[in-house]
A and B are shown apart, each in its own frame.
Chain A
Amino acid sequence: MKKILGIGGLLVFVCVLTGVLNPDFVSVYNLQNTLRWTSLFGVISVGVAFVIITGGIDLSIGSVVGLVGSLLAWLLTQKGWSAPAAVAMVLLVSLGIGVLHGLLITKLRLQPFVVTLCGLLLYRGAARYITDDQSLGFGTAYEGLRRLAIGKIPIPGLAADSFALPVPFLILMVIAVIAAVFLNRTIYGRYLLALGRNETAARYSGIHTDRVKIIAYVICSVSAGVGGVLFALDVNSIQPSGLGEFYELYAIAAAVLGGCSLRGGEGTITGVIIGAAVLRVLYNAINILRIPTHLEFAIIGAVILAGVITDELVKRYAVKRRAVRQLAAEQAHKASVPS
């Protein structure tokens, strides 16, 4: 909870600062854009959070985004599949990738880093091979499907041309609610948190840790798949060699910024989404505050680092205070019980 307040504070700070420096930041158009990008990156960040909670990592997200996006465009434009069939197919592919990762990591005991690093190379290559490395575009034929990524839902009661919710934001909200309920209200979510902190103890408590881990990898890859569909529809022009490149790093950064520990066992969905929002707002701020484009990475890296350092310091302070409080309580207890 405290963690969410911290990262939320950072988000508010960056927003207020940007808004003051350039009031256009809060223009309807810009808010919609930022919300849309936050949603797209939020979807893949929520997915990777599950894997990070198990203490694992998924480096293949960007390549899954690329493969799914390329496959979708290829199936639609080259193979003439119907939109629902193509979307179902690509999501199925991402599900299969998740199952594959999970099985390799749990049954063969391969390291997640290695498995997903190979995935990163493999799926990128597959995307380029299947599409002959050609850029693919949806042109203007799929405006209906593209509404998933660029459509907006007007808010009842507001004027037609004022703020409307981007469809990806609704998709993110649905995914986030499901994810949060899964993590906090189901026994599997609890299992996930427990095994992320101590897999052995979880197993000794009768939890099928392998199954739970596989579920986490499936959630991650399917989220990347959903993200891939949305990214592809959004940019409308897909370069198999480039779509989604490095997005795993953005997703991991958002998750870590949002309070996930790479050691596992820690993380909240709200935090991760706020983390993704911070990253997007930073990009947006750099652009609209006319900060030179080559400073972009430096600024984002510095902000993430500052966030993580602050978090660590706050955590240490909390541990110390807890210890002091407890000792005080124990001494009071001892004093009250005459020996």
Chain B
Amino acid sequence: MNNQYRSLLCVLSLSLALAGCGKPGEPAGASTSKPSGATEGGTSKPKLAYVTNGIDPFWNTASAGVRAAAKEFDAECEVLMPAKGIVDQNRMIETLLARGVDGIAISPIDAANQVGVINEAAARTRIITQDSDAPDSKRLCFVGMNNYSAGRAAGKLVKEALPNGGKVMIFVGRLEQLNAQQRRQGVIDELMDRAAQSLETIQYDPPGRVIEGARFVVLDTRTDNFDYARAKANAEDAITAHPDLACMIGLFAYNAPMCKEAVKEAGKLKSIQIVSFDEQDSTLQGIIDGDVYGTVSQQPYMYGYHSVRILAALKRGDESVLPPNGFYEVAIQEVRKANVQEFWTELKKLQKGEE
């Protein structure tokens, strides 16, 4: 009995001692590595990580940008795609911190609730957000587009497609994500002809309520939790529930392709317009065929590219790469029938050239 207690005590104290050593040690190491990196220049390659918010072709394009920048700025960068949502993503961060990296670029899945995780990472290494921001955290900067402006751009595409207005419906994987919320609000504000809101102080319309404006009516926002079959079923049910539906807006890359399938099978390609985000093959093909009106591309290639560029420079002690207001805005690109061929060719080249 006594022996058991004693050995237990030993183990306990040992682990406490280890934890005690580790804690103060690491931030110190991180802070001293900065000057040493600056003096030694490129002798050691910065080890970076690029964490996405899920698995999607969108992120494959971003990975191409990551690889291009890694080559150009002499860094190593691994791309991590969490398959199981926020738990998976947090676990990835923990693993990275445990292993030790020089910098992380992350697209937080639920920014508001990941502030702690991001701050913990900020204490041990350099972390920036990309694609989706966590403004309340201690991240060094945000690389991405202004999702609200992108939403407004999509709204403009809707207006172009339907000069006389009509009823529209929004489809999205999850509404918990900040980028989804901002895009949605941008679309709504544009369609309601409201004044532009500033990113920090956006007022959101609650989901599940019909929003009526002078020309447009936003009927509803349906979520599908990334289940493609449900995304499609949602689109079909929208067609049933609203025979006079004029436009579907897919906020996530796969939403518009699923809408396209549903509209096609319903034989309503003529009466329902589709506006998309991002650049899945099916979307681009739809634009060529005239089934999809247009899409707002956020240039994921640039997310990857600039994230790696900034982190690599930071590791080498160059803080001038940080944008003054903490937001490195990547320009969006609107794709319509007129420029789709050119856009697609370029995209393929980017993806292929960096393989």
Contacts and interface: CB of A to CB of B under 8 A. Distances in A.
Interface of A: 22, 24-25, 27, 29-30, 33, 37, 40, 128, 133-135, 137, 139-140, 150, 231, 234-243, 245-246, 283-284, 287-290, 292-294
B90 interface: no
B329 interface: no
Contact of B223 (A134, A239, A294): A294
Contacts of A287: 222, 233-234, 237-238, 240-241
11 contacts: A29-B236, A133-B55, A135-B55, A235-B228, A239-B56, A245-B227, A283-B237, A287-B237, A290-B241, A292-B207, A294-B208
Interface stretch (B15-23, B35-43, B279-287): B279-287
Contacts of A239: 55-56, 226, 228, 254
A241 B207 CA distance: 28
Given A239-B228, A242-B228, A284-B233, 7 more contacts: A24-B241, A24-B243, A29-B239, A133-B55, A139-B281, A236-B261, A289-B241
B258 A290 contact: no
Interface string B265-308: 11000000000000011100100000000000000000000000
B81 interface: yes
Interface of B: 55-57, 60, 81, 83, 207-208, 219-223, 226-234, 236-241, 243, 254, 257-258, 261, 265-266, 280-282, 285
A33 B81 contact: no
A72 to B, nearest CB: 15
A240 B240 CA distance: 29
A22 B240 CA distance: 10
Contacts of A22: 241
B258 A235 contact: yes
Given A135-B56, A241-B83, A288 B208 contact: no
B240 A25 contact: yes
A37 B228 CA distance: 13
Contacts of A139: 281-282, 285
Given A237-B257, A287-B238, A294-B207, A37 B55 contact: no
A134 B60 contact: yes
A35 to B, nearest CB: 12
A284 B241 CA distance: 10
Contacts of B226: 239, 242
Nearest to B234: A287
Closest 6 CB pairs of A and B: A292-B208, A287-B237, A288-B241, A30-B240, A235-B228, A241-B83
A160 to B, nearest CB: 12
A33 B258 contact: no
B280 A284 contact: no
Nearest to B253: A135
Contacts of A238: 228
A293 B83 contact: no
B266 A29 contact: yes
A292 B223 CA distance: 10
Contacts of A290: 219-220, 241
